[in-house]
A and B are shown apart, each in its own frame.
Chain A
Amino acid sequence: MSIRHPIGDDLLLGFAAGTLPAAHDLVVATAVSLDDDARARLGGFETLGGALLEQADAAPVGDDALTAVLGRLDEEEDMAPPRRICGGIFPAPLQDAVGGDLAAVRWRPVGMGARQAVLHRSPRGTARLLSIPAGQAMPDHSHRGTELTLVLTGAFRDGDLRFARGDLQVADASTEHRPTAEPAEDCICLVVTDAPLRFAGLLPRLFQRFLGI
């Protein structure tokens, strides 16, 4: 599958370095699961991290550290098995966050047929699934922070651009846009915001209160 609007290097670098908020980690892990080229770019940044680790000055470790670690090697392994390709609509990291695939999502109506499910909320960022009915538009809105929208099923159009599965749209404070789901099927996206959205007009402001975004 070809990704027309791939995730950017800034997010991949932040993920590699481990400096992103949790909500952003989720969207990056999900996007990378759908885009092998992004996976390779992420691998490049992780290689950079490995080089920095290799070149780090050694810090003194405790005298008994090796003994302590050796003593733990035979402990019962209670580690979760590695997540492999799991099939379904949601990639593994998103299935972990939801507790299953699409059927397990606990949607809440947010008006005009749209539905959402908040997966993670913290002061640094909120991650939610958003389902826009086929042919409908998201309410007109602008953003105080950055909004990352990753398409999981269906597709939306925003002006001249089309976003389909695996595509990521980045909108910031200067963007006022109106993504519209294509008529063929509902569009389900993973949306991460790092500040509340601002909707234009009274009705959308009510809408915003319901959305909690």
Chain B
Amino acid sequence: MSARPEPETHVAETEKDDAHWTAQMIAVGAARDRAAFEDLFRHYAPRIKAFLIRTGLAPPVAEDCMQDVMVTLWRKAHLYDPARASVATWVFTIARNRKIDMIRKTRRPEPEDLTWGPEAEPSQADVVAMRQESARLAQAVAELPERQRDLVQRAFFGEATHSEIAAATGLPMGTIKSRIRLAITRLREAMPEGTADRDRDGT
């Protein structure tokens, strides 16, 4: 567990950054830390609910959905991989999936999971690099001219057709992609023989 940051305590809300939320998420996953979970709840629950309302859920439905998301966050916390996604990204995917599952009443198809083998934990350097790239993208979104930020938001809130956001806005999508690609490659290398490339051409 040496790669894992220690859970933080006594941090003012204004000083809570991505590193703080990563530490709290890992504390929940590794130690079932309820205080860390309550901290995550206070930060993310209102944002999840706001996001769900913007995608078209009525407020009472969004409230129910948000509560399910937070319970899922608790249950799946041990699967959170800080080398592959920021906490915000991970929370976003859980909220998106829960919303769709509620509407469709079936489980949405998800790509196959890639998980670290028991021997291979993400290095602290990878975790920090992932966090920095995520923060960089978030910063770029925040600094977009209003019309372009609006375009990005409308794509996510289902109000716009999907044009290629990166091309339209100049967001640094390539760098975050490279960072994630690196994490995936390391995962593949850490996987048991025979599962890393199971396509039948044997290459």
Q: B141 contacts A61, CB within 8 Å?
A: no
Q: State the CA gap A165–B112 with chains docked (Å).
A: 16
Contact A1-B199, Cβ < 8 Å, known A9-B164, A46-B85, A58-B47:
yes
Q: B109 contacts A29, CB within 8 Å?
A: yes
CB of B146 within 8 Å of the partner chain: no
A98 → chain B closest CB, angstroms: 11
| Nearest A residue (CB) for B196 | A85
Contact A69-B71, Cβ < 8 Å, known A50-B85, A82-B79:
yes
A-B contact list, 12 entries, CB within 8 Å: A43-B89, A46-B92, A48-B165, A51-B138, A53-B48, A55-B138, A58-B46, A59-B62, A60-B46, A66-B41, A69-B67, A73-B74
CB of B53 within 8 Å of the partner chain: yes
Q: A29 contacts B38, CB within 8 Å?
A: no
Q: B162 contacts A14, CB within 8 Å?
A: yes
Report which of A9, A29, A51, A93 forms a contact with B141, defined as CB distance below 8 A. Answer: A51
Q: Which residues in window 119-141 of B have CB below 8 A to A?
A: 133-134, 137-138, 141
Report which of B97, B112, B114 forms a contact with A93, defined as CB distance below 8 A. Answer: B112
One digit per residue, 1 when the CB lies within 8 angstroms of any chain B CB and 0 when it does not, for chain A 154-191 equals: 00000000000110000000000000000000000000
CB of A25 within 8 Å of the partner chain: yes
In the complex, which residues of chain A have a beta carbon less than 8 angstroms from the beta carbon of B162? 10-11, 13-14, 17, 19
| Interface stretch (choices A34-42, A105-113, A130-138) | A34-42
B15 → chain A closest CB, angstroms: 15
Q: Which residues of B contact A (CB under 8 A)?
A: 34, 37-38, 41-42, 44-51, 53-55, 59, 62-63, 66-67, 70-72, 74-76, 79, 84-93, 95-97, 99-100, 104, 106-115, 133-134, 137-138, 141-142, 152-153, 155-158, 162-166, 171, 173, 176-178, 180-181, 184-185, 188, 191, 195, 197-201, 203
Q: Which residues in window 50-102 of A have CB below 8 A to B?
A: 50-62, 65-66, 68-70, 72-73, 75, 77, 79-80, 82-87, 89, 91-94, 96-97
Q: B115 contacts A9, CB within 8 Å?
A: no
Q: A1 contacts B197, CB within 8 Å?
A: yes
CB of A148 within 8 Å of the partner chain: no
Report which of B85, B166, B203 forms a contact with A1, defined as CB distance below 8 A. Answer: B203
| Nearest A residue (CB) for B53 | A59
Q: Is the interface of A mostly helix, strand, loop or mixed?
A: helix
Report which of B42, B180, B203 forms a contact with A43, defined as CB distance below 8 A. Answer: B180
| Nearest B residue (CB) for A84 | B113
In the complex, which residues of chain B have a beta carbon less than 8 angstroms from the beta carbon of A29? 109-111
Q: A43 contacts B109, CB within 8 Å?
A: no
CB of A32 within 8 Å of the partner chain: yes
In the complex, which residues of chain A have a beta carbon less than 8 angstroms from the beta carbon of B137? 44, 47-48, 51
In the complex, which residues of chain B have a beta carbon less than 8 angstroms from the beta carbon of A1? 197, 199, 201, 203
Q: B50 contacts A59, CB within 8 Å?
A: yes
Q: B199 contacts A54, CB within 8 Å?
A: no
| Nearest A residue (CB) for B165 | A13
Of residues B49, B54, B153, B197, which shows the largest number of chain A Cβ atoms within 10 Å of its Cβ?
Answer: B49
Q: B112 contacts A86, CB within 8 Å?
A: yes
Q: State the CA gap A65–B86 with chains docked (Å).
A: 24
Q: State the CA gap A51–B91 with chains docked (Å).
A: 11
Report which of B95, B155, B180 forms a contact with A44, defined as CB distance below 8 A. Answer: B180
CB of A208 within 8 Å of the partner chain: no
| Nearest A residue (CB) for B166 | A9
